[in-house]
Structure 1
């Protein structure tokens, strides 16, 4: 289990109403003394319940507001 300093929780809110929750952990690829090998892990999905519980426990929580992706139409080309 990670401490409050080595984990963060992310709430990603889109303007279309969708909300996603993630957890990231501070990890190392070599050793903790090698600062160039320390990085945040890939975001892992978690539930809203877990996010709210960790927020109330004092963990670092980050809220991100995002626009939904824009779908670009591509013209269909005729095949020879």
Structure 2
């Protein structure tokens, strides 16, 4: 169980309107007294319900608005069936 200072909850919202929720924790690569060894863990997916619950409980939450262009769809050439 992490304290309010060592965990953050992230909401990434895209221009399409899709939202993705993540949790990230502070981890150490040496020991807790060595501040240079502290870093945020990789974001792990969580549910919207968990995000809202932890926000209400007072945990740190971040909202990130991602402005990415949609992927370009490239047509592939049709392949003819091989004749045996």
Partner of 1:25: 25
State the Cα deviation string for residues 12-68 of structure 1 (Å, max 9, x = none). Answer: 000101100000001101101111110000000000000000000000000001113
Partner of 2:54: 54
RMSD: 1.7
| Alignment TM-score, normalising by the size of structure 2 | 0.81
- Give 1 or 2 for the bigger CA radius of gyration: 2
Total equivalences in the alignment: 75
| Alignment TM-score, normalising by the size of structure 1 | 0.85
For 1:73 and 1:6, the matched residues in 2 are separated by: 41
Task: Provide structure 2 residue ranges, at least 5 long, that are not aligned to the other structure.
Answer: 77-84
Partner of 1:42: 42
Instruction: Report runs of 4+ in structure 1 exceeding 4 Å deviation.
Output: none
